[in-house]
Chains A and B, each alone.
Chain A
């Protein structure tokens, strides 16, 4: 993506066009040995600039250690930029006074379903966030109900989280974030530990929150199939954004992705392999329906020629 000018336009102005604006962000980890001597420096995020509009569904791909999670942690001020800036909904994440507002605007869901739930009972867990925000009790009850219903977990409101499946636990974690009425949810590999149904449930929930509630979604994942419905995909490699585009544009670049330790959805790869074997199939096939349609086209064009 093109770098924009560094000149600092007032953030209020930028808010109109861009909900999240990351400018020339750089973040380094200093590695130290046991005696606290500096061993070296790892640049986890290296001069990243990107913009996200409100209501977008964004996916971030990248191999282990590419800087995805470090980048994500900057969005809701878990980490602060060393160089560059992160503006979320008009707020500079370095502005300490805005910390709570920033965390309310962008909530985060992590990988492990077992260490994000603190309540003994599902509805207690969902109420925890709004309680901390000082929301009046009636409204808390209302928010808990709404959030659990949105995630399809209302029937489990009195259950102990221990008795839920991984997918259900992750949906409770998302409900707990939703109850704080965020404009944006960052999901950092939310399905890595889930079985196929759990993965499907979580991704379906994220899409619904985006489509129905208009919540901005930033999804980090290693599962290529999960990003085919995203509006835009960013691919990170060695701390930098190496590709940006629609899923179709990104997944047309099979070879480049493989060189960055990534891959494409299985259907896309099958289409790519068939093309390499001489079939006339376009790049960037994303779904089974598309592939079946293309193959049937080939069949009809062939029978058309022979008859």
Chain B
């Protein structure tokens, strides 16, 4: 049972219920998150990803169905949802717009204090989190507003990490960052999984990013989960993904075109490294 960190069980959620504009944002959604997994959650704008994420941290309550965190129903009347929000951390889109404290240290220790840690404990947790996201010591006393865009985003992620989450959900964490910033942030997130065993849910519009980083991909469309599988398996459905406004990693397209042109390549390679090896192998 405890292999499953979190179970979403037949979630249904409707916006504007009972009005002419009623729309099912979640339509019978079920899946599990295992401890230490890196899951990519993809879907076009309006597919239900953000609604789902808000359910995972109990910001929205499903119309029917429920979520179990380590076996306990998080929508039960007496369930400690505040403690849950420490264990399941959510980094919103463009989190740097939500920074508000005067220094980086006070910003990052705000969450743990709020969770009931005393000042010293909270600052120690904050200190570790700030180091963890790769910010320099000089940053501690700086105003978060004086940092660069990429650094601000790291501060926002540190604020969530300081609460020592077991699951970390990040909504489009690389949006607006330059290419090097994107790579650095993704590498840092991968490290959180590899070194600290934190379960990661990465909500992304970049097929290339999820292909590169995720162990498993969940694809949502119109409030339903359409695919829930390993990246390679998911990206074999190129046409279906395109019909959903998504697509496949660029490398899948390259390999498909090479195969169509007669080169004997395995079209299931999805990362640049895999594609390169595949082409070199086919040409050897």
A299 near B283: Cβ-Cβ < 8 Å = yes
Asked whether A262 is an interface residue with its Cβ less than 8 Å from the other chain, the reply is yes
Does A111 sit at the interface, judged by CB under 8 A? yes
Q: Cα distance A166–B50 when bound, in Å?
A: 14
Chain A residue contacts of B124, Cβ below 8 A: none
Is B258 among interface residues, defined by CB-CB distance under 8 A? yes
A193 / chain B contacts, CB cutoff of 8 Å: 93, 172, 175-176
The chain B residue with its CB closest to the CB of A62 is B178
Chain A, range 25-76, C-beta contacts under 8 Å to B:
31, 62-66
Asked whether B22 is an interface residue with its Cβ less than 8 Å from the other chain, the reply is no
Q: A291 — which chain B residues lie within 8 A by C-beta?
A: 254
Q: Are B176 and A192 in contact, CB atoms less than 8 angstroms apart?
A: yes
A222 touching B179 in the complex, CB below 8 Å, given contacts A166-B45, A197-B246, A270-B275: yes
Residues of A near B257 (CB, < 8 A) are 288-289, 292
Chain B contact residues (Cβ within 8 angstroms of A): what range? 35 or more
Which residues of B are found within 8 Å of A199, using beta-carbon distances?
Answer: 205
Distance A63 CA – B149 CA, assembled complex (angstroms)? 11
In the complex, the answer to whether A266 meets B178 with C-beta atoms within 8 Å is no
Distance A153 CA – B146 CA, assembled complex (angstroms): 40
- B178 contacts across to A, CB distance below 8 A: 62-64, 66, 222, 261-262
Stretch at the interface among A125-133, A207-215, A273-281: A273-281
> Is the C-beta of B24 less than 8 angstroms from some C-beta in chain A?
no
The answer to whether A270 and B177 touch across the interface, beta carbons within 8 angstroms, is no
Structural contact, A295 and B146, CB atoms closer than 8 A: no
Residues of chain A contacted by B262 (CB below 8 angstroms)? 296
* Contact partners of A298 in chain B: CB under 8 A: 283
Pair B276/A198 contact, Cβ less than 8 Å: no
The interface bits of chain A over 258-285 (1 if a CB of B lies within 8 angstroms of the residue's CB, else 0) are 1001110111011001100101000000
Tell me whether A222 and B254 are in contact (CB under 8 A).
no
Which residues does chain A contribute within 8 Å of B175, judged by CB atoms? 192-193
| Cross-interface CB contact of A224 among B149, B179, B280, cutoff 8 Å | B179
Q: Is the CB of B263 within 8 A of A270?
A: no
Task: Given A63-B181, A295-B279, verify A270-B45 contact (CB < 8 Å).
Answer: no
A197 and B176 within 8 A (CB) = no
Give per-residue flags for B200-216: 1 if the beta carbon is below 8 A from chain A beta carbons, else 0: 00000101100000000
Contacts of A224-266 to chain B: CB distance below 8 A: 224-225, 258, 261-263, 265-266
For B280, list chain A residues within 8 Å (CB).
Answer: 274, 277, 279
Interface string of B54-70 (1 = CB under 8 A from A): 00000000000000000
Which of chain A's residues have a CB closer than 8 A to the CB of B208? 266
The reply to whether A295 and B263 contact each other, CB–CB distance below 8 Å, is yes
Other-chain residue from B44, B247, B283 in contact with A165 (beta carbon distance below 8 A):
B44
Pairwise interchain contact A296-B261, C-beta atoms closer than 8 A: yes
Bitwise, B241-274 to A at CB < 8 A (1) or not (0) is: 0000111011101100110011100000000100
Distance in angstroms from B244 CB to nearest chain A CB is 9
Residues of B within 8 A of A198 (CB): 44-45, 245
Chain A residues in 8 Å Cβ range of B43:
195
A111, B205: Cα distance in complex, Å: 15
Shortest CB-to-CB span from B119 to chain A, Å, is 23
Using CB atoms, name the residue of chain B closest to A278.
B280
Inter-subunit contact B276/A292 (CB<8 Å): no
Tell me, in angstroms, the Cα distance from A48 to B180 when the chains sit together. 24
Specify which chain A residues have a CB less than 8 angstroms from the CB of B176 in the assembled complex. 64, 111, 189, 192-193, 222
Residue of A nearest to B178 (CB): A63
| Cβ distance B181 to chain A, nearest Cβ, rounded Å | 6
B150, B207, B251: which contacts A64 (Cβ < 8 A)? B150
20 A-B contacts (beta carbon < 8 Å): A63-B178, A63-B181, A64-B181, A165-B45, A192-B175, A193-B93, A193-B176, A195-B44, A196-B205, A196-B245, A196-B247, A222-B176, A266-B250, A270-B279, A273-B272, A273-B276, A288-B257, A292-B254, A295-B283, A302-B283
| Additional A-B contacts beyond A195-B45, A288-B253, A295-B283 (15; CB < 8 A) | A31-B146, A64-B181, A111-B176, A196-B44, A196-B205, A197-B246, A199-B205, A261-B181, A266-B208, A266-B250, A267-B254, A270-B275, A291-B254, A292-B261, A295-B279
A-B pairs with lowest CB-CB distance, top 8? A197-B245, A261-B180, A263-B179, A63-B178, A266-B250, A195-B44, A195-B205, A192-B176
